[in-house]
Amino acid sequence: MPRKNAHDENVAKMMRLLKVSKEEAEKIVADDELIDKGGKCDWEVELTPEQKKAQRKARLADRTVSEKHTKHARAENPDKRNLIEVLEKTLTEIASEIEVLNAEREISFNYNGTAYKITLSAPRKAKEE
């Protein structure tokens, strides 16, 4: 069966979703296509100068992140920091090129000519129900 073109598929979708007649759906899709191309529909009203100014202001509005959506500071984990320090001290006896990449998370080293990296993670505690 040949595939319908995109216009016919959109008309069928509008008929199904909006429960409108085929003529109404075709008008909606035609208006959508016209708007997508930058045209004006016959039902659009002309904006007053004040409305145009408000529309432009809204489009140029500052899009900065509000204060309540800023990232919170991550809590320090002294246990993980201590574990990395212990690993570093222990590895100095048997490995070379030891480098702490993140004081609470990663350490890399060279052992017998092979590079290794240890990433420390602490799974979250299970939620109690």
Residue 16 lies in a domain: yes
**Residue owning tokens 């993670």:** 121
Spatial distance between the Cα atoms of 59 and 32, rounded to a whole number of angstroms: 21
Mean pLDDT by 10 residues, the chain (129 residues): 73 91 90 76 76 79 64 82 92 91 92 93 82
- The span from the CA of 87 to the CA of 100, in Å, is 10
Domain that holds residue 10: 1-42
Q: What is the pLDDT of residue 1?
A: 46
In a domain, 69, yes or no: no
**All residues at 6 or more sequence positions from 64 whose CB lies less than 8 Å from its CB, including other chains:** none
Distance of CA 14 to the CA centre of its chain: 29
Q: Is-contact 38 27, C-beta < 8 A?
A: no
Q: 60 lies in a domain?
A: no
For residue 89, being part of any structural domain is answered with yes
